[in-house]
Amino acid sequence: MSYNAPAIQPAHFSQHMNQEEKMIGAIVFELKAVNSDSLPLHHGQQLHGLCFKIMEDFSPALADHVHKEMSIKPFTSAMLEYPQSLRANNNRLYIKEGTMLRWRVTALQDHVLQAFLNLQPGHIMNLGNLQLEIVRIIINPEISAYSGLIEPTDLLAECFSCVPPSVISLKFHSATTFRAGNDDFPWPLPEYVFGSLADKWVALDMPGDLPAKLIREEAKAIVPLEWQGRSCKLNFAPKRSARGFVGQFTYGLNHVDDEYQSILLLLAAYAELAGIGRWTAHGMGQVRIIR
Angle in degrees, 0-180, between the axes of helices 258-274 and 190-203, rounded to the nearest 10? 70
pLDDT in tens, 194-234: 999 999 999 999 999 899 999 999 999 999 999 999 999 88
Average pLDDT on 80-92 reads: 86
pLDDT score recorded for residue 85: 78
User: What is the reported pLDDT for 236?
Assistant: 73
Q: Which fold has domain 13-138?
A: Alpha-Beta Plaits (3.30.70)
Average pLDDT of the segment spanning 14-32: 74
Short-list 10, 48, 49, 45, CA closest to 26: 10
User: Does 31 have pLDDT greater than 60?
Assistant: yes
- pLDDT exceeding 70 applies to what percent of the chain? 92
pLDDT tops 60 at residue 13: no
- Asked whether this chain's domains 13-138 and 152-289 adopt the same fold, the reply is yes
pLDDT value, residue 240: 78
Q: Read off the pLDDT band of 154 (50, 70, 90).
A: very high
Question: For position 16, what pLDDT does the model report?
Answer: 41
| Residue boundaries of the structural domains of the chain | 13-138, 152-289
Check pLDDT > 60 for residue 11. no
Give the pLDDT mean for 245-265.
95
CATH number of this structure's domain 152-289: 3.30.70.1900
pLDDT score of 91 more than 90:
no
pLDDT for res 250: 98
- Look at 141 and 17; give whichever has higher pLDDT: 141
18 has a pLDDT exceeding 60 = no
In the structure, what pLDDT confidence band is assigned to residue 21 with cuts at 50, 70 and 90? low
pTM of the model as a whole: 0.91
Average pLDDT of the residues of the chain: 91
pLDDT over 90 (residue 14): no
For 35-39, what is the mean pLDDT? Answer: 96
